[in-house]
Structure 1
Amino acid sequence: MLIFLNNFSLFSGISLSTLKRKIEALDPVQDVVKAVHKSSIQKPGPKPWILDDFNRNVVKRTIHDMYRKKQVVSMPRLHEVLKEKDITASLSTVVRTVKSLGFRFSKKGSGRRHVVERDDVVALRHHYLRQIRKYRQQERHIVYLDETWLNSNHVVKGDWLDEPSTSMSVFEPHCEGSGRSLPSGKGTRLIILDAGSSQEGLIPGVGLIFESKTSSSDYHDEMNSEHFTEWFRDTLIPRLTPQSVVVMDNAPYHSHLDPESRAPSTGANKPGISAWLDKNNVDYDPKMKKTGLLDLVNQHKPQKKYVIDELAKAHGHVVLRLPPYHCELNPIEMVWSDLKGFVARKNSTYKIKDCKKLFEEAKSHFSAERWAKFETHVVREYEEKLWQIDGLRDKALSPVIIHMTDDETDDSQATIVYCQEGGTDDEEIDMDIVDGYVSDTSDQADVILCKICHDTDPPGRVPKRDRGTHIDWFQCDTCDQWLHNKCCTKPALAQIMCPRCYSLLHHRKLSETLVSPLDDMEQ
Structure 2
Amino acid sequence: MEKKIGKPWCLSDPWSRLVKATGISLSTLKRKIEGLDPVQDVVKAVQKSSVQKPGPKPWKLDDFNRNVVKRTIYDMYRKKEVVSMPRLHEVLKEKDITASLSTVVRTVKSLGFRFSKKGSGRRHVVERDDVVALRHHYLRQIRKYRQQERHIVYLDETWLNSNHVVKGDWLDEPSTSMSVFEPHCEGSGRSLPSGKGTRLIILDAGSSQQGLIPGVGLIFESKTNSSDYHDEMNSEHFTEWFRDTLIPRLSPQSVVVMDNAPYHSHLDPESRAPSTGANKPGISAWLDKNNVHYDPKMKKTGLLDLVNQHKPQKKYVIDELAKAHGHVVLRLPPYHCELNPIEMVWSDLKGFVARKNSTYKIKDCKKLFEEAKSHFSAERWAKFETHVVREYEEKLWQIDGLRDKALSPVIIHMTDDETDDSQATIAYCHEGGTDDEEIDMDIVDGYVSDTSDQADVILCKICHDTDPPGRVPKRDRGTHIDWFQCDTCDQWLHNKCCTKPALAQIMCPRCYSLLHHRNLSETLVAPLEDAEQ
What TM-score bracket applies, with the shorter chain setting the length? 0.7 to 0.9
Q: TM (normalized to structure 2)? A: 0.75
Q: Is the 8 A contact 2:273 2:307 kept in 1?
A: yes
The answer (yes or no) to whether the contact 1:504–1:514 under 8 Å persists in 2 is yes
Which of 377, 397, 400 lines up with 1:390 in the alignment? 400
Q: Select between 276-285 and 461-470 the one with higher mean Cα deviation.
A: 461-470
2:153–2:207 Cα contact (<8 Å) kept: yes
* Partner SS, residue 74 of structure 2: helix
Residue pairs, 1:129-168, within 5 angstroms: 129-165=139-175
Asked if 1:316 is matched to 2:356, the reply is: no
Which stretch has the larger CA shift, 228-237 or 409-418? 409-418
1:128–1:322 contact (8 Å) kept in structure 2: yes
- The offset of 1:518, in angstroms, is 4.9
The CA deviation at 1:173 is 2.8
Conserved in 1, the CA contact under 8 Å of 2:425 and 2:451? no
Give the 3 Å change call, closer, same or farther, for CA 273–78 of structure 1 in structure 2: same
Superimposed CA distance per residue, residues 31-57 of structure 1 (whole angstroms, 9 cap, x where no aligned partner): 999999999999999996011100000
Q: Please report how far the alpha carbon of residue 506 of structure 1 lies from its aligned counterpart in structure 2 after TM superposition.
A: 3.4
Please give the per-residue CA displacement for 1:372-419, whole angstroms capped at 9, x wherever unaligned: 111111111111111121121489999999898897777727765669
Give the distance between the partners of 2:153 and 2:206, measured in 1 at CA. Answer: 5
Question: In 2, Cα distance between the equivalents of 1:16 and 1:443?
Answer: 94
Q: How far off is 1:279 after superposition?
A: 0.6
Q: Is the 8 A contact 1:442 1:469 kept in 2?
A: no
Q: Secondary structure at the match of 2:190?
A: coil
RMSD, matched Cα: 13.6
Change (3 A) 1:289 1:110: same
Please say if residues 225 and 253 of structure 1, whose CA atoms lie closer than 8 Å, have aligned partners that are also in contact.
Answer: yes
- How much does 1:97 deviate? 0.8
> 3-state SS of the aligned residue for 2:115?
strand
**Which whole-Å CA distance do the structure 1 matches of 2:20 and 2:453 have between them?**
130
Mapped to 1, the partners of 2:18 and 2:297 lie a distance apart of: 73
Contact 1:144 1:332 in 2 (8 A): yes
Change (3 A) 1:427 1:222: farther
C-alpha distance 53-427 of structure 1, shift in aligned 2 (>3 A): farther
Pairwise CA distance, 1:490: 13
> Cα offset for 1:508?
3.1
32-41 or 321-330: bigger deviation: 32-41
Alpha-carbon contact 1:438-1:470 (below 8 Å) kept: no
Q: 1:383 to 1:205 in 2, by over 3 A?
A: same
Q: Secondary structure at the match of 1:442?
A: coil
Change (3 A) 1:91 1:13: closer
Closer, same or farther: CA 260–166 of 1 in aligned 2, 3 Å: farther
Aligned to 2:526: 516
1:54 to 47, 52, 64: 64
Q: Distance in 1 between matches of 2:273 and 2:44?
A: 53
Instruction: Could you tell me which runs of 5 or more consecutive residues in structure 2 were left unpaired when the two chains were aligned.
Output: 1-15
Contact 1:436 1:473 in 2 (8 A): no
Task: Tell me the SS of whatever aligns to 1:263.
Answer: coil
CA shift for structure 1 position 78: 0.7
Give how far 1:509 is off: 2.1
Are the counterparts in 2 of residues 437 and 471 from structure 1 also a CA contact under 8 Å?
A: no
Q: In 2, Cα distance between the equivalents of 1:173 and 1:20?
A: 30
Contact conserved, 2:406 with 2:487, CA < 8 A, in 1? no
**Distance apart, 1:443 and its partner CA:** 21
2:136 aligns to what?
Answer: 126
Secondary structure of residue in 2 paired with 1:136: helix
TM-fit CA distance, 1:326: 0.5
Question: How far, CA to CA, are the matches of 2:390 and 2:504 in structure 1?
Answer: 15
Check whether the contact 1:169–1:176 (CA below 8 A) recurs between aligned residues: no
Point out the more displaced range, 173-182 or 471-480: 471-480
CA–CA distance in structure 2, aligned partners of residues 223 and 507 of structure 1: 36
Call closer, same or farther: CA 1:25–1:179 in 2, change over 3 Å.
closer
Give yes or no for contact 1:79–1:94 (8 Å, CA) kept in 2.
Answer: yes
More displaced stretch, 468-477 vs 56-65: 468-477
1:437·1:474 contact (CA, 8 Å) conserved in 2?
Answer: no
Does the CA contact (< 8 Å) of 1:449 and 1:455 recur in 2? yes
Cα separation, partners in 2 of 1:427 and 1:64, compared to 1, 3 Å: farther
Once the two structures are overlaid, the 10-residue window that deviates more, 158-167 or 67-76, is 158-167
- 2:27 aligned with 1:11: no
Contact 2:469 2:532 in 1 (8 A): no
CA offset at residue 483 of structure 1? 7.8
Q: Do the aligned partners of residues 177 and 479 (structure 1) sit closer, same or farther apart at CA in structure 2, a change above 3 Å counting?
A: closer
Summarize the Cα distance change of 1:159–1:70 in structure 2 as closer, same or farther, 3 Å threshold. same
Gaps of 5+ in 1: 1-5
Aligned to 1:181: 191
Alpha-carbon distance change, 434 to 451 in structure 1, aligned in 2, over 3 angstroms: farther
- Give the superposition deviation at 1:502: 2.6
Question: Deviation at 1:440?
Answer: 9.7
Find the residue that maps to 1:174 and give its secondary structure. coil
Kept in 1: contact 2:268–2:317 (CA 8 A): yes
1:250 Cα deviation from its structure 2 partner: 0.3
Report the Cα offset of residue 515 of structure 1. Answer: 2.8
Instruction: State the alpha-carbon separation in 2 of the partners of residues 130 and 411 from structure 1.
Output: 32
Match of 2:310 in 1: 300
Measured at CA, do residues 77 and 411 of structure 1 come closer, stay the same or move farther in structure 2, by a change above 3 Å?
same
Query: Cα 1:451–1:218, aligned 2, differ >3 Å: closer, same or farther?
Result: closer
Whether 1:407 and 2:417 are equivalent positions in the alignment is yes
The offset of 1:258, in angstroms, is 0.5
CA change 1:29–1:325 in 2 (3 A) is: farther
Aligned-residue offset at 1:120: 1.0
Contact 2:407–2:484 at 8 Å: present in 1 too?
A: no
| Aligned residues of 2:510 and 2:526 also touching (Cα < 8 A) | no
What is the CA deviation profile of residues 85-106 of structure 1, one whole-angstrom value per residue up to 9, with x for unaligned ones?
A: 0001111111111111111111
Distance in 2, Cα, partners of 1:521 & 1:16: 77
Task: Please say if residues 252 and 326 of structure 2, whose CA atoms lie closer than 8 Å, have aligned partners that are also in contact.
Answer: yes
Would the alpha carbon gap of residues 473 and 74 (structure 1) be closer, same or farther in structure 2, given more than 3 Å must change? farther
- With the length of structure 1 as denominator, give the TM-score of the two structures: 0.76
State the Cα deviation string for residues 281-337 of structure 1 (Å, max 9, x = none). Answer: 110011111110011111111111111111111111111111100101111111111
Displacement of 1:260: 0.5
CA deviation vs aligned residue, 1:334-377 (integer Å, no higher than 9, x gap):
11111111111111111111111111111111111111111111
Once the two structures are overlaid, the 10-residue window that deviates more, 170-179 or 208-217, is 170-179
Q: Tell me the equivalent position of 2:89.
A: 79
**1:402 and 1:440 in contact (8 A); partners too:** yes
Structure 1 position 210, deviation (Å): 1.0
Change (3 A) 1:301 1:19: farther
| Aligned equivalent of 2:9 | none
Say if 1:150 and 1:189, in contact at 8 Å, map to a contact too.
yes
- In the TM superposition, residue 136 of structure 1 has moved relative to its aligned partner by 1.5
505-514 or 381-390, larger mean C-alpha shift: 505-514
Q: Count matched residues.
A: 518
